[in-house]
Amino acid sequence: MAEPQTRTVSSLPGRGSRTRLREFQAGLAERLRHAATTPSLQRRLAVRLGRDSNERNFLIDLPEAGEIISIPEITPVPLTKTWYRGLANVRGNLVSVIDLSDFNDEGVTLLDKDSRVLAFSSGLRFNAAILVTRMLGLRNATQLTPFERRSQSVLAPWIGNAFQDADGIVWEELRLVALAADERFLQIGIR
Domain residue limits, the chain: 15-149+169-186
pLDDT 10s digits, 54-110: 899 999 999 999 999 999 999 999 999 999 999 999 999 999 999 999 999 999 999
HEC profile of 67-134? EEEECCCEECCCCECCCEEEEEEECCEEEEEECHHHHCCCCCCCCCCCCEEEEECHHHCCCEEEEECE
Contact 117, 133 (CB under 8 A): no
CATH 2.60.40.420 fits 15-149+169-186, yes or no: no
Segment 110-130 shows an average pLDDT of: 94
In this prediction the pTM is 0.76
pLDDT over 70 (residue 41): no
